Structure 1
Protein backbone atom coordinates (compact mmCIF):
# COMPACT_ATOMS: atom_id res chain seq x y z
CA UNK A 1 0.00 0.00 0.00
CA UNK A 2 1.36 3.37 -0.97
CA UNK A 3 1.22 6.30 1.47
CA UNK A 4 -1.06 9.12 0.41
CA UNK A 5 0.45 12.37 -0.65
CA UNK A 6 1.72 14.36 2.28
CA UNK A 7 1.55 11.37 4.68
CA UNK A 8 4.78 10.50 6.49
CA UNK A 9 4.87 6.89 7.75
CA UNK A 10 8.33 7.15 9.26
CA UNK A 11 6.89 8.01 12.68
CA UNK A 12 4.78 4.79 12.67
CA UNK A 13 7.78 2.51 12.21
CA UNK A 14 9.10 1.11 15.53
CA UNK A 15 12.74 1.84 16.11
CA UNK A 16 15.18 0.19 18.56
CA UNK A 17 14.72 3.10 20.96
CA UNK A 18 10.95 2.41 21.08
CA UNK A 19 11.60 -1.23 22.06
CA UNK A 20 14.15 -0.24 24.68
CA UNK A 21 11.76 2.29 26.26
CA UNK A 22 8.90 -0.26 26.27
CA UNK A 23 11.08 -2.97 27.86
CA UNK A 24 12.29 -0.53 30.52
CA UNK A 25 8.73 0.55 31.38
CA UNK A 26 7.52 -3.06 31.66
CA UNK A 27 10.48 -3.98 33.86
CA UNK A 28 9.75 -1.06 36.17
CA UNK A 29 6.09 -2.11 36.54
CA UNK A 30 7.02 -5.75 37.29
CA UNK A 31 9.66 -4.69 39.83
CA UNK A 32 7.24 -2.32 41.59
CA UNK A 33 4.52 -4.98 41.73
CA UNK A 34 6.88 -7.52 43.27
CA UNK A 35 7.88 -5.07 46.02
CA UNK A 36 4.36 -4.00 46.93
CA UNK A 37 2.40 -6.33 49.23
CA UNK A 38 -0.47 -5.79 51.62
CA UNK A 39 0.69 -4.68 55.07
CA UNK A 40 -0.36 -7.96 56.71
CA UNK A 41 1.46 -10.21 54.23
CA UNK A 42 4.28 -12.23 55.75
CA UNK A 43 6.20 -15.24 54.56
CA UNK A 44 5.85 -18.29 56.78
CA UNK A 45 6.67 -21.95 56.66
CA UNK A 46 4.81 -24.82 58.26
CA UNK A 47 6.09 -25.82 61.70
CA UNK A 48 4.90 -28.38 64.19
CA UNK A 49 3.47 -27.42 67.53
CA UNK A 50 6.26 -29.15 69.47
CA UNK A 51 8.86 -26.48 69.16
CA UNK A 52 8.77 -24.65 65.85
CA UNK A 53 10.60 -27.34 63.90
CA UNK A 54 9.53 -28.19 60.35
CA UNK A 55 7.32 -31.28 60.24
CA UNK A 56 9.18 -34.56 59.77
CA UNK A 57 8.84 -36.39 56.50
CA UNK A 58 6.64 -39.47 56.37
CA UNK A 59 8.47 -42.61 57.52
CA UNK A 60 10.08 -44.39 54.55
CA UNK A 61 9.14 -48.10 54.49
CA UNK A 62 12.27 -48.87 52.45
CA UNK A 63 14.32 -48.03 55.58
CA UNK A 64 12.21 -49.97 58.08
CA UNK A 65 12.81 -53.45 59.49
CA UNK A 66 9.56 -55.43 59.33
CA UNK A 67 8.81 -58.57 61.40
CA UNK A 68 8.72 -60.75 58.28
CA UNK A 69 11.12 -63.62 57.56
CA UNK A 70 11.71 -63.93 53.82
CA UNK A 71 14.69 -66.26 54.05
CA UNK A 72 17.01 -65.56 51.09
CA UNK A 73 14.41 -63.43 49.30
CA UNK A 74 14.10 -59.68 49.64
CA UNK A 75 11.08 -57.94 51.15
CA UNK A 76 9.01 -55.88 48.71
CA UNK A 77 6.91 -52.85 49.69
CA UNK A 78 3.87 -53.30 47.44
CA UNK A 79 1.64 -50.46 48.71
CA UNK A 80 2.04 -47.49 51.01
CA UNK A 81 0.10 -44.45 52.19
CA UNK A 82 0.97 -41.69 54.66
CA UNK A 83 -1.09 -39.42 56.92
CA UNK A 84 -1.47 -38.41 60.55
CA UNK A 85 -3.31 -41.54 61.70
CA UNK A 86 -3.49 -40.95 65.46
CA UNK A 87 -4.04 -37.19 65.58
CA UNK A 88 -0.71 -36.39 67.27
CA UNK A 89 0.46 -33.98 64.57
CA UNK A 90 3.06 -36.34 63.08
CA UNK A 91 2.82 -38.35 59.89
CA UNK A 92 2.71 -42.13 59.97
CA UNK A 93 3.05 -44.51 57.02
CA UNK A 94 1.00 -47.62 56.38
CA UNK A 95 2.99 -50.16 54.37
CA UNK A 96 1.92 -53.42 52.77
CA UNK A 97 4.89 -55.75 52.34
CA UNK A 98 5.50 -59.29 51.12
CA UNK A 99 8.42 -61.55 50.33
CA UNK A 100 9.64 -61.29 46.77
CA UNK A 101 8.71 -64.19 44.54
CA UNK A 102 9.27 -64.85 40.85
CA UNK A 103 6.01 -66.82 40.71
CA UNK A 104 2.83 -66.81 42.74
CA UNK A 105 1.65 -64.20 45.19
CA UNK A 106 3.01 -64.50 48.72
CA UNK A 107 0.77 -63.26 51.56
CA UNK A 108 0.92 -59.63 52.56
CA UNK A 109 1.68 -58.03 55.91
CA UNK A 110 0.31 -54.55 56.64
CA UNK A 111 2.14 -52.40 59.21
CA UNK A 112 2.03 -48.87 60.59
CA UNK A 113 5.35 -47.02 60.77
CA UNK A 114 6.20 -44.03 62.96
CA UNK A 115 9.25 -41.83 62.76
CA UNK A 116 12.47 -42.90 64.45
CA UNK A 117 13.10 -42.16 68.10
CA UNK A 118 16.57 -40.80 67.25
CA UNK A 119 17.49 -38.64 64.27
CA UNK A 120 18.91 -40.70 61.43
CA UNK A 121 17.56 -44.02 62.76
CA UNK A 122 15.15 -46.26 60.84
CA UNK A 123 11.37 -45.82 61.16
CA UNK A 124 9.68 -47.95 63.84
CA UNK A 125 6.92 -50.52 63.30
CA UNK A 126 4.29 -49.42 65.83
CA UNK A 127 1.36 -51.63 64.80
CA UNK A 128 0.70 -54.81 62.85
CA UNK A 129 -2.65 -54.53 61.09
CA UNK A 130 -2.43 -57.79 59.10
CA UNK A 131 0.24 -60.43 59.66
CA UNK A 132 1.34 -62.55 56.67
CA UNK A 133 0.15 -65.63 58.61
CA UNK A 134 -3.45 -64.60 57.79
CA UNK A 135 -2.73 -65.60 54.17
CA UNK A 136 -4.26 -62.44 52.67
CA UNK A 137 -3.02 -60.58 49.61
CA UNK A 138 -3.57 -56.82 49.52
CA UNK A 139 -5.27 -55.38 46.45
CA UNK A 140 -5.80 -51.76 47.51
CA UNK A 141 -4.59 -49.64 50.41
CA UNK A 142 -5.85 -46.12 51.10
CA UNK A 143 -5.87 -43.57 53.90
CA UNK A 144 -8.66 -41.05 54.11
CA UNK A 145 -9.60 -38.79 57.02
CA UNK A 146 -7.28 -40.75 59.32
CA UNK A 147 -8.91 -44.10 58.48
CA UNK A 148 -7.00 -46.91 56.76
CA UNK A 149 -8.93 -49.06 54.27
CA UNK A 150 -7.69 -52.10 52.40
CA UNK A 151 -9.13 -54.75 50.11
CA UNK A 152 -7.69 -58.26 50.25
CA UNK A 153 -7.96 -61.55 48.44
CA UNK A 154 -7.88 -64.69 50.54
CA UNK A 155 -9.01 -68.30 50.87
CA UNK A 156 -12.12 -69.77 52.44
CA UNK A 157 -10.39 -73.05 53.40
CA UNK A 158 -6.97 -74.69 53.27
CA UNK A 159 -8.27 -76.86 50.42
CA UNK A 160 -8.54 -73.89 48.03
CA UNK A 161 -5.50 -73.86 45.69
CA UNK A 162 -3.12 -71.01 46.49
CA UNK A 163 -3.35 -69.86 42.87
CA UNK A 164 -7.03 -69.10 43.10
CA UNK A 165 -8.19 -66.96 46.04
CA UNK A 166 -11.95 -67.26 46.53
CA UNK A 167 -12.61 -64.59 49.20
CA UNK A 168 -12.65 -60.82 48.79
CA UNK A 169 -12.34 -59.09 52.16
CA UNK A 170 -12.44 -55.39 52.99
CA UNK A 171 -10.99 -54.12 56.27
CA UNK A 172 -10.81 -50.71 57.90
CA UNK A 173 -8.76 -49.44 60.85
CA UNK A 174 -9.23 -46.27 62.84
CA UNK A 175 -7.32 -44.94 65.85
CA UNK A 176 -9.58 -45.17 68.91
CA UNK A 177 -8.71 -45.40 72.59
CA UNK A 178 -4.96 -45.51 71.99
CA UNK A 179 -4.97 -48.32 69.39
CA UNK A 180 -6.03 -49.18 65.85
CA UNK A 181 -9.51 -50.71 65.91
CA UNK A 182 -10.36 -53.02 63.00
CA UNK A 183 -13.76 -53.30 61.37
CA UNK A 184 -15.07 -55.03 58.25
CA UNK A 185 -16.12 -53.08 55.20
CA UNK A 186 -19.51 -54.65 54.37
CA UNK A 187 -19.50 -53.64 50.70
CA UNK A 188 -16.25 -55.51 50.10
CA UNK A 189 -17.16 -58.79 51.81
CA UNK A 190 -18.06 -61.86 49.84
CA UNK A 191 -16.69 -64.24 47.32
CA UNK A 192 -14.21 -63.02 44.73
CA UNK A 193 -15.31 -63.08 41.12
CA UNK A 194 -13.00 -64.47 38.46
Structure 2
Protein backbone atom coordinates (compact mmCIF):
# COMPACT_ATOMS: atom_id res chain seq x y z
CA UNK A 1 0.00 0.00 0.00
CA UNK A 2 1.31 3.43 -0.92
CA UNK A 3 1.07 6.15 1.68
CA UNK A 4 0.02 9.66 0.71
CA UNK A 5 2.29 12.63 1.33
CA UNK A 6 -0.77 14.79 2.12
CA UNK A 7 -1.84 15.02 5.74
CA UNK A 8 -4.75 12.79 6.71
CA UNK A 9 -8.21 14.31 6.25
CA UNK A 10 -6.94 17.53 4.67
CA UNK A 11 -10.46 18.78 3.93
CA UNK A 12 -11.90 18.37 7.41
CA UNK A 13 -10.78 21.82 8.50
CA UNK A 14 -12.83 24.33 6.49
CA UNK A 15 -11.06 27.53 5.71
CA UNK A 16 -12.65 30.83 4.65
CA UNK A 17 -12.03 29.99 0.98
CA UNK A 18 -14.21 26.86 1.35
CA UNK A 19 -17.08 28.89 2.83
CA UNK A 20 -16.69 31.51 0.08
CA UNK A 21 -16.80 28.84 -2.65
CA UNK A 22 -19.90 27.26 -1.08
CA UNK A 23 -21.67 30.63 -0.74
CA UNK A 24 -20.84 31.53 -4.36
CA UNK A 25 -22.19 28.20 -5.63
CA UNK A 26 -25.41 28.61 -3.62
CA UNK A 27 -25.88 32.17 -4.91
CA UNK A 28 -25.46 30.92 -8.48
CA UNK A 29 -28.09 28.20 -7.95
CA UNK A 30 -30.57 30.67 -6.43
CA UNK A 31 -29.98 33.18 -9.26
CA UNK A 32 -30.46 30.48 -11.91
CA UNK A 33 -33.67 29.29 -10.24
CA UNK A 34 -34.95 32.88 -10.29
CA UNK A 35 -34.33 33.14 -14.03
CA UNK A 36 -36.01 29.83 -14.87
CA UNK A 37 -39.50 30.66 -13.60
CA UNK A 38 -42.44 29.13 -15.49
CA UNK A 39 -44.31 31.37 -17.88
CA UNK A 40 -47.70 32.86 -17.18
CA UNK A 41 -50.61 30.43 -17.22
CA UNK A 42 -52.36 30.87 -20.53
CA UNK A 43 -54.19 27.67 -21.31
CA UNK A 44 -57.04 27.79 -18.85
CA UNK A 45 -60.51 27.02 -20.10
CA UNK A 46 -62.45 28.44 -17.23
CA UNK A 47 -65.71 30.24 -17.46
CA UNK A 48 -69.26 29.83 -16.37
CA UNK A 49 -70.81 30.84 -19.66
CA UNK A 50 -72.00 34.09 -18.13
CA UNK A 51 -72.29 37.00 -20.54
CA UNK A 52 -69.39 39.41 -20.80
CA UNK A 53 -69.74 43.14 -20.81
CA UNK A 54 -71.24 44.54 -23.96
CA UNK A 55 -70.33 47.82 -25.52
CA UNK A 56 -72.39 50.86 -24.55
CA UNK A 57 -75.80 50.72 -26.17
CA UNK A 58 -75.98 46.91 -26.02
CA UNK A 59 -74.02 46.38 -29.25
CA UNK A 60 -71.54 43.52 -29.26
CA UNK A 61 -67.92 44.35 -28.57
CA UNK A 62 -65.48 44.24 -31.48
CA UNK A 63 -63.43 41.07 -31.85
CA UNK A 64 -60.20 41.03 -29.81
CA UNK A 65 -57.10 42.17 -31.69
CA UNK A 66 -54.32 39.56 -31.46
CA UNK A 67 -51.54 42.00 -32.44
CA UNK A 68 -50.69 43.03 -28.86
CA UNK A 69 -50.88 39.59 -27.24
CA UNK A 70 -47.76 37.90 -25.87
CA UNK A 71 -48.20 34.35 -27.15
CA UNK A 72 -46.49 31.52 -25.21
CA UNK A 73 -44.12 30.42 -27.97
CA UNK A 74 -40.41 29.88 -27.42
CA UNK A 75 -38.90 31.31 -30.60
CA UNK A 76 -35.33 31.99 -29.56
CA UNK A 77 -35.49 35.73 -30.20
CA UNK A 78 -36.92 35.67 -33.75
CA UNK A 79 -40.40 36.72 -32.63
CA UNK A 80 -43.82 35.42 -33.60
CA UNK A 81 -45.95 35.74 -36.71
CA UNK A 82 -49.74 35.81 -36.80
CA UNK A 83 -50.34 33.30 -39.60
CA UNK A 84 -54.17 33.29 -39.59
CA UNK A 85 -57.05 34.60 -37.57
CA UNK A 86 -60.82 34.21 -37.51
CA UNK A 87 -63.48 35.72 -35.28
CA UNK A 88 -66.94 34.76 -34.16
CA UNK A 89 -69.10 34.27 -31.08
CA UNK A 90 -67.87 30.94 -29.73
CA UNK A 91 -69.54 30.84 -26.31
CA UNK A 92 -72.96 32.30 -27.12
CA UNK A 93 -72.57 35.52 -25.12
CA UNK A 94 -73.18 37.81 -28.11
CA UNK A 95 -69.57 39.04 -28.28
CA UNK A 96 -67.00 37.67 -30.72
CA UNK A 97 -63.82 35.87 -29.72
CA UNK A 98 -60.75 35.67 -31.95
CA UNK A 99 -58.96 32.45 -32.82
CA UNK A 100 -55.31 33.12 -33.69
CA UNK A 101 -52.89 30.78 -35.46
CA UNK A 102 -49.38 31.83 -34.44
CA UNK A 103 -45.92 30.51 -35.29
CA UNK A 104 -42.30 31.52 -34.84
CA UNK A 105 -41.08 33.94 -37.51
CA UNK A 106 -38.67 31.42 -39.03
CA UNK A 107 -37.09 32.40 -42.32
CA UNK A 108 -37.63 28.98 -43.84
CA UNK A 109 -39.06 25.58 -43.08
CA UNK A 110 -42.42 24.74 -41.57
CA UNK A 111 -42.44 25.92 -37.96
CA UNK A 112 -45.15 24.39 -35.76
CA UNK A 113 -48.27 26.43 -35.09
CA UNK A 114 -50.07 27.32 -31.90
CA UNK A 115 -53.83 27.95 -31.98
CA UNK A 116 -55.18 30.24 -29.25
CA UNK A 117 -58.63 31.59 -28.39
CA UNK A 118 -58.65 35.25 -27.34
CA UNK A 119 -61.27 37.26 -25.53
CA UNK A 120 -61.39 40.76 -24.05
CA UNK A 121 -60.61 41.40 -20.40
CA UNK A 122 -63.03 44.28 -20.00
CA UNK A 123 -64.96 46.81 -22.00
CA UNK A 124 -64.37 47.95 -25.56
CA UNK A 125 -60.86 49.21 -24.84
CA UNK A 126 -59.80 46.16 -22.84
CA UNK A 127 -56.81 44.20 -24.06
CA UNK A 128 -57.12 40.73 -25.53
CA UNK A 129 -56.06 37.75 -23.44
CA UNK A 130 -55.60 34.06 -24.14
CA UNK A 131 -58.36 31.90 -22.64
CA UNK A 132 -57.61 28.57 -24.33
CA UNK A 133 -54.87 26.78 -26.22
CA UNK A 134 -56.36 24.50 -28.86
CA UNK A 135 -53.11 23.38 -30.51
CA UNK A 136 -49.86 23.49 -28.56
CA UNK A 137 -46.74 24.18 -30.68
CA UNK A 138 -45.04 21.29 -28.84
CA UNK A 139 -47.37 18.95 -30.79
CA UNK A 140 -45.46 19.98 -33.98
CA UNK A 141 -48.60 20.50 -36.05
CA UNK A 142 -49.27 23.05 -38.77
CA UNK A 143 -52.68 24.48 -39.64
CA UNK A 144 -53.64 23.85 -43.26
CA UNK A 145 -55.64 26.17 -45.53
CA UNK A 146 -58.98 24.96 -44.12
CA UNK A 147 -59.33 27.26 -41.08
CA UNK A 148 -62.44 29.25 -40.12
CA UNK A 149 -65.02 30.08 -37.47
CA UNK A 150 -68.56 29.18 -38.60
CA UNK A 151 -71.71 29.17 -36.49
CA UNK A 152 -69.81 29.09 -33.19
CA UNK A 153 -67.53 26.28 -34.33
CA UNK A 154 -63.80 26.44 -35.10
CA UNK A 155 -62.81 24.25 -38.03
CA UNK A 156 -59.27 23.46 -39.11
CA UNK A 157 -57.09 20.99 -40.93
CA UNK A 158 -54.09 19.84 -38.88
CA UNK A 159 -51.01 18.76 -40.80
CA UNK A 160 -48.45 16.59 -39.03
CA UNK A 161 -45.75 13.98 -39.38
CA UNK A 162 -45.92 10.20 -39.08
CA UNK A 163 -42.39 9.99 -37.72
CA UNK A 164 -39.07 11.79 -37.26
CA UNK A 165 -37.78 10.60 -40.67
CA UNK A 166 -40.38 12.71 -42.52
CA UNK A 167 -38.83 16.01 -43.73
CA UNK A 168 -40.21 19.07 -41.92
CA UNK A 169 -41.10 20.63 -45.27
CA UNK A 170 -43.60 17.95 -46.15
CA UNK A 171 -46.18 16.91 -43.54
CA UNK A 172 -47.62 13.50 -44.41
CA UNK A 173 -50.59 13.29 -42.03
CA UNK A 174 -53.84 15.25 -42.15
CA UNK A 175 -56.66 15.55 -39.61
CA UNK A 176 -59.83 17.55 -40.14
CA UNK A 177 -60.97 18.75 -36.72
CA UNK A 178 -63.38 21.15 -35.07
CA UNK A 179 -63.80 22.68 -31.64
CA UNK A 180 -67.06 23.77 -30.04
CA UNK A 181 -67.70 25.42 -26.65
CA UNK A 182 -69.58 22.97 -24.39
CA UNK A 183 -70.03 23.07 -20.61
CA UNK A 184 -67.28 25.64 -20.04
CA UNK A 185 -64.59 24.11 -22.27
CA UNK A 186 -63.66 23.71 -25.92
CA UNK A 187 -64.41 20.16 -27.04
CA UNK A 188 -62.49 18.79 -30.01
CA UNK A 189 -64.22 16.67 -32.61
CA UNK A 190 -63.15 14.96 -35.83
CA UNK A 191 -64.58 15.95 -39.19
CA UNK A 192 -64.78 13.57 -42.13
CA UNK A 193 -62.02 13.84 -44.72
CA UNK A 194 -63.35 15.00 -48.09
CA UNK A 195 -62.72 12.40 -50.77
CA UNK A 196 -62.55 13.24 -54.45
CA UNK A 197 -64.03 10.98 -57.12
TM-score normalised by the chain length of structure 1? 0.67
Q: CA deviation at 1:118?
A: 6.3
The residue number in structure 1 matching 2:143 is: 138
Work out whether 1:108 is the aligned partner of 2:113.
yes
The residue number in structure 2 matching 1:171 is: 177
Between the aligned partners of 2:108 and 2:89, the Cα distance in structure 1 is 35
Work out whether 1:93 is the aligned partner of 2:108.
no
Between the aligned partners of 1:109 and 1:188, the Cα distance in structure 2 is 24
Q: CA deviation at 1:119?
A: 6.1
Between the aligned partners of 1:163 and 1:49, the Cα distance in structure 2 is 44
Between the aligned partners of 1:162 and 1:126, the Cα distance in structure 2 is 29
The Cα offsets for residues 103-131 of structure 1, whole Å up to 9 and x where unpaired, read as 10100000000012366443010000000
Does the 8 Å CA contact 2:148/2:155 hold for their aligned counterparts?
yes
TM-score normalised by the chain length of structure 2? 0.66
Q: Greater relative contact order: 1 or 2 (C-alpha under 8 angstroms, separation 6 or more)?
A: 2
Q: CA deviation at 1:91?
A: 0.9
Match of 1:71, SS? coil
Work out whether 1:71 is the aligned partner of 2:76.
yes
Does the 8 Å CA contact 1:169/1:188 hold for their aligned counterparts?
no
Match of 1:133, SS? helix
Distance 1:188 1:94, change over 3 A: farther
Distance 1:124 1:105, change over 3 A: same
Give the unaligned 5+ runs of structure 1. Answer: 1-47, 190-194
The Cα offsets for residues 138-188 of structure 1, whole Å up to 9 and x where unpaired, read as 113101110000012110112222122110111100011111000111216
The residue number in structure 2 matching 1:45 is: none
Stretch of structure 1 that moved more, 113-122 or 73-82:
113-122
The Cα offsets for residues 73-115 of structure 1, whole Å up to 9 and x where unpaired, read as 1210111000110001111000000000111010000000001
Count of residues paired in the alignment: 142
Question: In angstroms, what is the RMSD of aligned CA positions?
Answer: 2.1
Q: Which structure has the bigger radius of gyration?
A: 1
Give the unaligned 5+ runs of structure 2. Answer: 1-52
Q: CA deviation at 1:65?
A: 1.6
